[in-house]
Amino acid sequence: MSAKVPLSPLPQRLPGVARDLLDWYDANARSLPWRAPPGTAAPDPYRVWLSEVMLQQTQVATVRPYFERWTARWPTFAALAAAEDAEVMAAWAGLGYYARARNLLAGARVIAAQHGGQLPDTEAMLRTIPGIGDYTAAAIAAIAFGRRAVVVDANVERVVARLFAIQTPLPAAKPLIRAAADRVTPEERAGDFAQAMMDLGSGICTTRGPRCLLCPIRAHCEGFAQGAPERLPVKAAKRVRPVRHGTMFWLECDGRVLLRRRPAKGLLGGMLALPTGPWADTAPLLDDAPADVAWRLHDETVAHGFTHFELVCALASGGWRRHPDTIDGEWWPIDALDSAGLPAVFRKATDAMRRICG
């Protein structure tokens, strides 16, 4: 909770929802590294942009340490634009949705080369930067540049669906919810309002077990009045996740293991990884081995859930007896694998292999 700061009186035209929510925010705003205290000067646009991208589909507690490390290393657009691709991808390792890191770097370079090192300050221009969509453009315009923008993310969708008791299922309800959000967004302090909605959504108006008795806008809430706000928003049923199978190959040479960078696009794109063939409906076993050596197939497997499928991977190990330079990839010291910047699924595999090999 941040210190209370003196605020100028809000315009009388401010609707009750925004007024009550902002009063609550002034007293209860979370203190976050990328956030300015309510009612104070706008925070650094670089930090707002970085935090908004890191926070896409990712919780605050997960983002915080990544944000601290990242800003210490690359504190400005210029610093990030000049960074090495491999360093940036390694710094993102474990955070997921790796296209965000690729877009962040591309975005920093666009900003440095085409925008004089300054983030554009309108939604429409922000929308042209790689990795910035409707939500992030609105959030940056409001939070970093004080513009009135309608910021709609999953928190706002949930709060607004309950506030207006919208029964239409998502995603069909999106236009309706955006129109409703527009109606409650104030002309002034739209940035604080957006962040207040986030805090409300993450701490009080939660998906399960909303704490309505603590809610500052309960009196305005039709969902609460109707008695079952936790049933909103209604969502379309989602598909079952299929299981896919694969093999990861642990090729050792002189205390090092072979790593390869994955293709720039697609799953885990641009990340360093253990060699592996495509992941398919049936177990490929040794079909896609990176080298013709005597592979040993282990009993232990690695299971990992991705957004749209479940992976079960076999582990195979072997030794490279020829000159290290005669195979594609990077030989990484086994003792230093923790600093290789591997995605979580490969970190599971390397941890398992180090256990197996002792």
| Stretch 335-354: interaction string toward DNA, x if CB under 7 A | --------xxx---------
Task: In whole angstroms, give the CA distance from residue 226 to residue 216.
Answer: 17
Residues 63-92 close enough to bind DNA by CB under 7 A: none
Asked if residue 212 binds DNA (CB under 7 A), the reply is no
* Nearest distance, CB of residue 53 and DNA, angstroms: 7
Query: Residue 149 or 198: which CB sits closer to DNA?
Result: 198
Query: Residue 93 or 112: which CB sits closer to DNA?
Result: 93
Asked if residue 198 binds DNA (CB under 7 A), the reply is yes
Task: In whole angstroms, give the CA distance from residue 159 to residue 267.
Answer: 32
Query: Residue 295 or 337: which CB sits closer to DNA?
Result: 337
Asked if residue 133 binds DNA (CB under 7 A), the reply is yes
What's the token pair of residue 282? 């049936």
Q: Can 300 be counted among the known catalytic residues?
A: no
- Describe the crossing of helices 134-143 and 190-203 by its angle, rounded to 10 degrees: 120
What's the token pair of residue 157? 């969708």
Selection from 293, 156, 146, 315 nearest residue 245 by Cα: 315
Length of the chain: 358
Task: In whole angstroms, give the CA distance from residue 217 to residue 357.
Answer: 58
* Nearest distance, CB of residue 4 and DNA, angstroms: 19
Per-residue CA distances from 248 to 242, 279, 345 (Å): 19, 10, 10
Query: How many residues sit in the footprint of DNA (CB under 7 A)?
Result: 58
Task: In whole angstroms, give the CA distance from residue 202 to residue 182.
Answer: 20
Pairing of strands 243-253, 310-319: parallel
| Stretch 139-178: interaction string toward DNA, x if CB under 7 A | x-------------xxx--x------------xx------
* Nearest distance, CB of residue 234 and DNA, angstroms: 10
Q: Which of 25, 43, 50, 51 is in the footprint of DNA by CB under 7 A? A: 51
Q: Which of 11, 65, 278, 305 is in the footprint of DNA by CB under 7 A? A: 305
Task: In whole angstroms, give the CA distance from residue 47 to residue 210.
Answer: 30
Residues 6+ apart with CB under 8 A from 66: 54, 91, 92, 95
Which residues of this protein are in contact with DNA, per CB under 7 A?
32, 35, 51-52, 55-62, 93-99, 103, 130-137, 139, 153-155, 158, 171-172, 195, 198-199, 201-202, 207-209, 235, 238-239, 266-269, 304-308, 343-345
- Residues annotated catalytic, as ranges: 52
